[in-house]
Amino acid sequence: MLALALCLTSAELLLAQPSQTFIDTIDVQVVEVDVVVTDRKDRPITGLKREDFELYVDGRPAEIANFYESEVLAEPPRATGRNETPTAGTAAATGYTNDPAPLTIVLYMDDANLFPPYRTRLLKRLEKTAESWRSLNARFMFARFVNRLEVVVPPTPDLDAILDAATQRMKGQARAIQNQRSRQVVIQEMRRGGCQNIGYLLGLAAMHANEQATRAAIAADGLADLTSTLAGVPGKKAIVYVSDGLPQQPGLSVFAYIAEELCPNAPGITSEVHSAAQQYDETNRFQRISAHANANRVTLYMLDAAGIRAGLNQSMAFDGRPPSFSNDRLHWTNVQGGLHQLASETGGKALLNTNDMADLFEDVVEQLASSYSLGFVPDERRPGEVRRLKVELAQDASSGRRVEYRRSYRDKAPDERLAEQMMSVAYLGNSSNPLGVSVALGTTTAQEKKVHRLPVRIVVPEEAILLRPGPGEPSGELRLLLLAMEEMRGGRTPVRQMTVNVGGSSDVAASGGAYSFDVAVSLPENDYQVVVGVRDETTGITSLLREAVSVPQ
C-alpha cells in the first residue's frame, strides 16, 4: 500500500470534520436476488410471475418490491464465429421484461495458483468453448491475478478481445508450481522420518497447512478485489474463476496421512491429529467472500483447471510408497471444497473432475440468459452484517422444480460503497460526472527522496449542488474523496475523504459560479491513475473521475 497525505490549503477546510447526517436518510438500497428455476432435466423454466416466488430474509418473509424476468439472449444460440456480432435487442421481441442494466461476464485466471500445464490445456480449447457466449447480449472482461489484480481487458462487447488476451502465453509461476508439488514433498519427508517423532510430523503438516492457508488467503484477496471492482458496474455480473482449487481445510489430507497411514497405531494419534487439523479452516473466509459477491450482484462460476486428477498413488515420481487412493480423494475433495462453496452460495456452479470446460460455459449462458430478479428493501440497516436469504416457489409452481439463488448478502455502509466505486473507476475507467466536476492535476514538487507532492484542484459548479434552507443562508455539504493507484504494480492508497460545508456563511463560498478545493497527495515516483470523487451529501449524487499522471511530472 502506498502512503498518501491528503491536505487542503485552507485552514478553515482542515477544521471541517466528516459528517454522515444525511447519508442514511437518502440511500435507499434495493437488494437484487437473482434466481434461476430449472426442471428435473436441469432446463431453465421461464414465464413465472412475482406471485410464484416467496422470499425470506433471516427466516422472515420479505416483500418483493421489484420483479422482472431477465432475457439477455441477443438471438437464438448458434455458432457465429469470430468477428460476427449477434444482433442486440431481438430479445425484446420475445415478450420478456428486460433487465434495465447490462450483463457482464468476467473470465478470471488465478495465475498465482494455476499450474502452467493446466492453463495451457484450457486455453487451447478456450475459443471453441466460449462460442456459446456469442449468443448473449452482454459485455465481457478479462482479468488475471499474480501478485495483484490485473484488469487486462475492461468490459467490452467484443468477445474476441478477451479471447485474444487470455490465450497469450504467460510464463509459468513458481508459486503455482510449488503449490502443485508441496503435498508430495511433505509426505515424502514424513516417510523418511517415520513415526519416531510425532511432534516433528505434526510440525511438517502444520507448515504445509500454513502454506495452503496463505495460498487460499491470497486467492481470496484477489477475488475480493475483483468483486469490489465490479461494484461500480451496473447489472448482473458473473465471474468465471479458473484455478487449481481452493482448499476448504488446508493440509487436511496430510494430517489424515499421519493418523491413517503412517502412524495408525500410535497412542492417541487420531485425536491429536484431529485437534491440529481443526486449526485450519477457510469456511468462514469463503462465506465472507460469498456475502461480498452477493452484495455486489456477482455470481461465481468456478472451474477446477486440474480436470480429471491423477493422484500421488499413480505418480511414478513419488519416492517410496505413495498415499492411498482414499487419501488422494480426500485431498481432491478438500481443494475443490472452496470452489463448490463459493459457487453454491452465490447461485452459480462449479465444474469439477472433467477436462471439458464447455459444460460450465454453457451453464453460464443457460443460467444468465434466463433468470429472475427479486428486489427487496431491507427492513433495517445492518452495515457489515451477513444476512441469510431463502427463495422458495409457491406451492402451485414448485412441482418438480429446483431453485438456485444467492444464499446471503451483506449490507454495505455508505463509505464502503463509495470506496468500491472508487476502485471500480481506478481499474476500469468507468467515470461518471453528473455534477459536472472538473479536475486539474498540477506540477509535482519534491518532498523527500523519490517522493513528490502532487497538487489536485477540484472545481464543482455551484448550480449542481442542492443547498438546504436553514436559519441563515442556504448551505450544503460536499464529500471529497481521493485514491491513487500505481499502474505498474497495482498498489493503491486507501480512499481518503473529507466532508466540507459549502454555500452561504459556511466554510466555502462559491466564487465565479463554482466551489474550488485544492488537494495535495504525496506519492513515490511512478505512473498513477488518480481517482477523484465528489458527493453531494444532500442528494447523494456522486461524480467520480479518473486522471492519469506520471510522478514526477
Q: Which three cell numbers stand for residue 414?
A: 455508505
Which three-class secondary structure state does DSSP give residue 325?
A: helix
What is the per-residue burial (b if ≥16 Cβ within 10 Å, else e) of 46-61?
eebeeebbbbebeeee
Query: 68 vs 472, which has greater pLDDT?
Result: 68
Percent of the chain whose pLDDT exceeds 90: 40
- Residue whose C-alpha cell is 486440474: 306
Q: What does the alpha-carbon distance between residue 46 and residue 61 come to, in Å, rounded to a whole number?
A: 24
Structure confidence at residue 459 (pLDDT): 96
pLDDT of residue 313: 55
289-348 residue pLDDT tens: 998 998 899 999 998 888 777 666 555 455 667 788 899 889 889 989 999 999 999 988
The answer to whether residue 282 scores a pLDDT higher than 50 is yes
Instruction: Please give the grid coordinates belonging to residue 238.
Output: 458473473
pTM reported for the whole predicted model: 0.82
pLDDT (average), residues 392-417: 84
The answer to whether residue 246 scores a pLDDT higher than 50 is yes
- Asked whether residue 244 carries a pLDDT value surpassing 70, the answer given is yes
β-strands 514-524, 7-8 pairing:
antiparallel
- Each residue's pLDDT tens digit, 187-229: 888 888 788 899 999 999 999 999 999 888 988 889 999 999 9
| pLDDT bracket for residue 72 (50, 70, 90) | low
* pLDDT score at 82: 55
pLDDT (0 to 100) of residue 316: 46
Q: What's the average model confidence in pLDDT over 2-19?
A: 34
pLDDT of residue 318: 57
**What is residue 53's predicted lDDT score, i.e. its pLDDT?**
93
The winner for highest mean pLDDT among 125-129, 190-194, 222-226, 403-407 is 222-226
Query: Residue 523's pLDDT is what?
Result: 92
- What per-residue confidence (pLDDT) applies to 536? 95
Kindly indicate the confidence band of residue 86, based on its pLDDT and cuts at 50, 70 and 90.
very low
Does residue 503 come out as left (phi exceeding 0), alpha (psi in the -120 to 50 range) or beta? left
Torsion, Cα 393 395 397 398, to 10 degrees, reads 60
Closest by CA position to 481, among listed 461, 465, 501, 500: 500
Mean pLDDT, residues 386-411? 85
Residue 455 clears pLDDT 90, i.e. is over it: yes
pLDDT at 2 over 80: no
What pLDDT does 470 receive? 75
Residues 6 or more apart whose CB falls under 8 angstroms from that of 524 comprise 2, 450, 451, 452, 551
Burial class (CB in 10 A: 0-12, 13-18, 19+), 389: buried
pLDDT at 91: 34
CA–CA gap between residue 107 and residue 241 (Å, rounded): 7
Residue 20 has pLDDT above 60, yes or no: no
Top pLDDT among 341 and 365 is at 341
Per-residue pLDDT at 46: 85
pLDDT for the residue 364: 82
Pairing type for strands 438-441 and 476-486 reads: unpaired
318 vs 515, higher pLDDT: 515
Question: Which of 61-75, 241-255, 436-450 has the weakest average pLDDT?
Answer: 61-75
Cα Rg, the chain, nearest whole Å: 26
Closest among 373, 440, 511, 418 to 69, alpha carbons compared: 373
Band of residue 131 on the pLDDT scale cut at 50, 70, 90:
confident
142: exposed, middle or buried (Cβ count in 10 Å: 0-12, 13-18, 19+): buried
Residue 392's pLDDT band (cuts 50, 70, 90): very high
Residue with cell 489484480: 149
If pLDDT is split at 50, 70 and 90, which confidence band does 514 have?
very high
Q: For residue 527, what are the β-bridge partners?
A: 550
- Amino acid present at 366: E
Asked if pLDDT for residue 11 goes beyond 70, the answer is no
